[in-house]
Structure 1
């Protein structure tokens, strides 16, 4: 049984996390500020800075990115423009979320399957095509006596992380329609695990977040694969972004 003081501390931590999330999405390079993502044709050179910045204020941020084209396999050069005066930033009111619920802090395990395993993930702007993402293991836990095994891909988000993209029965009604994200410290980052090994892990759904594409239509977010679509509502963490008036992405 969780003590009253521990519960109060967890709720306080949750409030601090919520404030941190607001600061992150409203930052100069927060998701709300993204007004343009542009990709050159596969194999073509990157657009020069002057052309990329044309029509934007001098304080707009320009960042570069690269990817491999799905159809040709050729490299693609891209850039993004971030503006604090973006329509989304100006219309943003809050991120709606559920109150902290200790029942959604789930103890489970991480099973290292294969450090080189790649799983296809569909992305919201790729028209049904998939991109292979590195998934070195599975998150395994039980809810109401049923075991669930979810694929979380490896990423670096302020350090080695597992990036869980999941769906549940709240999507589209109570929460963001395309699913939500959850980041966990990567249990296999130390290199101590061998394929087939497992280690305890805590999956705290109170830290579930609206993905970047819920803040900007210039983001291309991965969608939950079939095995990550939970057959019950997860009423924990962030629900959806609230904008003023009739603003919509």
Structure 2
């Protein structure tokens, strides 16, 4: 590649990255042109985010959540099923719960797999709370069935690669990237073993490890977020702000950060992202605790998802 061609390519890249999310390449908080490396890193993160959502088993493929209420249920997509699936074999098998354990007996002739191997007889299905959750495959791997546990109850979670929510995905929308929303905060450790009560969208409360809080400055004011995760490890934040329901997803957003370095944590609000519930009604997303509801307009990161309009 010649020197002039290289500069032209770089200029085109900057213009393309700046255009993502409707920006002009300027940090609107300061008026200065955003750093090329910052724009490139942000664009790469966005591309990875999209790829994960659109993976065959990503959140956009989620098509069902079925609670196991009785001792036994026949499951399948046929009319005679006690738990009727939206996809898959008409008769898949029978799900049984015994003393908090879930078993699946496949229907004769049903082409199923368990963790990639042919499923021939009755098996126990480990849930998402277990070290090695069981994954039942069907329709030549397009469909996946797993067990989740929430508040002592179990449910079947169904994903399908050809789900409309995946095949008709309309894309993600973002505020223009701004370096001013990359904010260094102060890591304030909590006593060992501290937890924070987190309630999810189905009303189940769980105690989550709460190793620290992070304080940061914005617009001359101090704000505080409670962090979730292992001590000294990667941090996870559930947050809501004044854009929630007014540009960003109404139930709040997620934010990841690396563990503290020299007592500091970098909060990059350009990478605030929607929970799975923004894309599917079958997820069981955690909600931001009261401590993380910011009186701050965070016009950065991912905006509310505009679901495709169905034509009747």
Q: Is TM > 0.5 for Structure 1 vs Structure 2?
A: yes
Matched, 1:229 2:306: no
Superposed counterparts of 1:81-230, under 5 Å? 81-126=158-203, 129-154=204-229, 160-187=233-260, 199-230=263-294
TM-score by length of 1: 0.80
* Bigger-Rg structure (1/2): 2
Looking at structure 2, the residues matched to 218 and 160 of structure 1 have their Cα atoms a distance apart, in angstroms, of 30
Q: Distance in 2 between matches of 1:138 and 1:207?
A: 19
List gaps (5 residues or longer) in structure 2.
Answer: 1-29, 70-96, 113-135
Q: Distance in 2 between matches of 1:103 and 1:95?
A: 22
Cα distance in 1, alignment partners of residues 170 and 162 from structure 2: 14
- Deviation per CA, 1:188-219: give whole Å up to 9, x if none: 9xxxxxxxxx7111111001001111112111
| TM-score of the pair, normalised by structure 2 | 0.65
Do the aligned residues in 1 keep the contact of 2:270 with 2:301 (CA within 8 Å)?
yes
Superposed CA deviations along residues 40-89 of structure 1, whole A, max 9, x for unmatched, are 359443141637979x63421233444442xxxxxx44442211111211
Structure number having the greater strand percentage:
1
Match of 2:145 among 45, 62, 66: 62
60-69 vs 235-244, greater mean Cα deviation: 60-69
Is contact 1:40–1:46 with CA below 8 Å preserved after alignment? no
1:50 to 106, 109, 119: 106
The answer to whether the Cα contact below 8 Å between 1:155 and 1:163 also exists between their aligned partners in 2 is: no
Pairwise CA distance, 1:180: 0.3
Larger RCO, structures 1/2 (Cα 8 Å, 6+ apart) = 1
Structure 1 match to 2:47: 19
Contact 2:34 2:179 in 1 (8 A): no
Distance in 1, matches of 2:191 and 2:150, equals 24
What secondary structure, in the 3-state scheme, does the structure 1 residue paired with 2:241 have? coil
Instruction: Give the Cα separation in 2 of the matches to 1:24 and 1:130.
Output: 27
Per the alignment, do residues 47 and 160 of structure 1 end up closer, same or farther by CA in structure 2, a change over 3 Å counting? farther
Q: Contact (CA 8 Å) 1:92, 1:242: kept in 2 or not?
A: no
Count of residues in correspondence between the two structures:
227
CA distance, structure 1, for counterparts of residue 162 and residue 50 of structure 2: 16
How far apart, CA to CA, are the structure 1 residues paired with 2:57 and 2:222? 39
Distance 1:135 1:246 in 2: 42
Match of 2:35 in 1: 7
